[in-house]
Chains A and B, each alone.
Chain A
Amino acid sequence: SQQGEEDPQALSIQEGENATMNCSYKTSINNLQWYRQNSGRGLVHLILIRSNEREKHSGRLRVTLDTSKKSSSLLITASRAADTASYFCATDPGSGYSTLTFGKGTMLLVSP
């Protein structure tokens, strides 16, 4: 079953604008991860935020986590056409085997 649910399902912006994607989940987590998937390719890990963290940065990426609301957001600043991809959140309950549960993803289109 899906644990994370991303919102919006699709997002279309212009280069240079910021893109914000949200993820909601239902059960307790050890950490939450964001992955990126280019069309027809495998997923690439972007960033991991632990349950005791509230915000994390990596380059143009900023992730927040609100465990009280069971939600996370991914912000991509100054987007580029190359950021066009699907973005997935994945929750890890901390079972020790990294059994991630993925949402359905947000499809981001960045136009030049």
Chain B
Amino acid sequence: SQTIHQWPATLVQPVGSPLSLECTVEGTSNPNLYWYRQAAGRGLQLLFYSVGIGQISSEVPQNLSASRPQDRQFILSSKKLLLSDSGFYLCAWSAGGQETQYFGPGTRLLVL
């Protein structure tokens, strides 16, 4: 069966520090991968999606970047965090050609 992991679970970082959040998927090959951000009391905002290694599409201009160095690994990064980067970050995957997405447990990021 397929499993999706995210780490860390929580993170407190100072403004201006770098960020690296990791997401890995097990039990499937060539998944579509997604990064979402959820602000308190709001829905999910799609940040990036990837349909293959090295292929990244950005949905909104922002202070963040994403990379997919391996088929089942998706990384969210920032060189310098802003206060507005605080939120709940969710990684998700879907099988190619399938509409349903499967979410990881999320990373709660607090930038102080």
A45 and B101 form a contact (CB under 8 A): yes
A101 CB, nearest partner CB in chain B, Å:
7
Q: Which one of A57-65, A75-83, A91-99 contacts B?
A: A91-99
Beyond A40-B108, A43-B90, whether A100 also contacts B101 by CB under 8 A is yes
Bound: A104/B41 CA distance, A: 7
Bound: A64/B49 CA distance, A: 29
Q: Which of A30, A41, A44, A99 contacts B49 (CB 8 A)?
A: A99
A28 CB within 8 Å of chain B: no
Contacts of A44 in B (CB 8 A): 103
Contact with A along B68-112 (1 / 0, CB 8 A): 000000000000000000001010101001111111111010000
B101 and A101 form a contact (CB under 8 A): no
Contact with B along A27-51 (1 / 0, CB 8 A): 0001101010000111111001000
Contacts of B108 in A (CB 8 A): 40
Bound: A19/B46 CA distance, A: 28
Bound: A31/B98 CA distance, A: 11
- Given contacts A45-B100, A99-B49, 14 further A-B pairs with CB under 8 A are A2-B43, A33-B99, A35-B103, A42-B106, A43-B44, A43-B101, A45-B101, A48-B100, A96-B97, A97-B32, A98-B32, A98-B98, A98-B101, A99-B46
8 contacts between A and B (CB under 8 A): A30-B99, A41-B105, A43-B44, A48-B100, A97-B57, A98-B32, A98-B99, A102-B36
- A residues whose Cβ falls under 8 Å from a Cβ of B: 2, 4, 30-31, 33, 35, 40-45, 48, 88, 90, 92, 96-105
- B residues whose Cβ falls under 8 Å from a Cβ of A: 32, 36, 41-46, 49, 51, 57, 59, 88, 90, 92, 94, 97-106, 108
